[in-house]
Amino acid sequence: MLSKAQQILTDAMNADYAIGAFNTSNMEIAQAIVRAAVAKKSPVIVQTSEGAIEYAGLTMIAGVIKIIAQESSVPVIMHLDHGKSIETVKRCIDAGYTSVMIDSSTLPLQENIKKTAEVVAYAHARGVYVEAELGAIVGKEGVKDLHGSTTPDSFLTDPKQAMEFVEKTGIDSLAVSVGTIHGAFTGQEYIRFELLEEVQSAVSHIPLVLHGASGIASDHLQRACKGHVSKVNVDTELRVAFEKACGEYFKTTHESYDPRSIMGPARDAVQKTVEEKIDLLGSSGTSGIY
């Protein structure tokens, strides 16, 4: 079922688990994500970046996700990840997204507040959930190895600014920069838990969102979920699983090539990865309350 995020993420925050938010750009990955959620009886977030929308087309990718969601037995939130422009965010809301992220984190604080507040007004009038980011997460989404990239202190979320940002914008959840890296797979990723706890204390009434979770140690992710991190974004690990499965197919000779023989195992590999993440984040078995 296509669902709203409000109650689902609040419940996760209050019960110290997180909902996995998984990126898709095609039918197979979207199917894999939702099939994993059904298998684990968990709510799930299927999200698209602006790049995915450019690749597949907004009407097409939104339509695919909505059909898959409507046919599933678990709550599926359709989310825009890292919306950079107000126009894109509005287009996604009008296309049926139940949750959006406006990412103006590269702007000065007051400009970020102004732009985010405009999105909140538009989205809330239509019952749509809004996530925004304060601080900046280094790296590039989808990159597997950044070779030692780390987050400069100036990029990290300031707890005092977080309080002002949340109060003035009225956002529903806050994406924080606490050391994670987009696309990271270096073995050096870590979460600055002291900072995470300070931010959580400053904005304790709303869920926090962790981006760049690929490569983070399992016990660290579980610990983060105890600190009001209620949404965890995973993209790179899905891409790696998909690519490896496709690669295995081409290691052997085939008389004829059938796209289903390539994409099917890749879909299964992504589903397995999503199931493992859902278990790790603690949301397995929680869909029955909705």
Catalytic residues: 81
DSSP string, 253-276: --SS--HHHHHHHHHHHHHHHHHH
DSSP string, the chain: -B--SHHHHHHHHHHT--EEEEE-SSHHHHHHHHHHHHHHT--EEEEE-HHHHHHH-HHHHHHHHHHHHHTSSS-EEEEEEEE-SHHHHHHHHHTT-SEEEE--TTS-HHHHHHHHHHHHHHHHTTT-EEEEEES---B-TT-S--SS----GGGSPPHHHHHHHHHHH--SEEEE-SS--BT--SS-----HHHHHHHHHHTTTS-EEE---TT--HHHHHHHGGGTEEEEEE-HHHHHHHHHHHHHHTTS--SS--HHHHHHHHHHHHHHHHHHHHHHHT-TT-GGG-
Tokens of 241: 């699983």
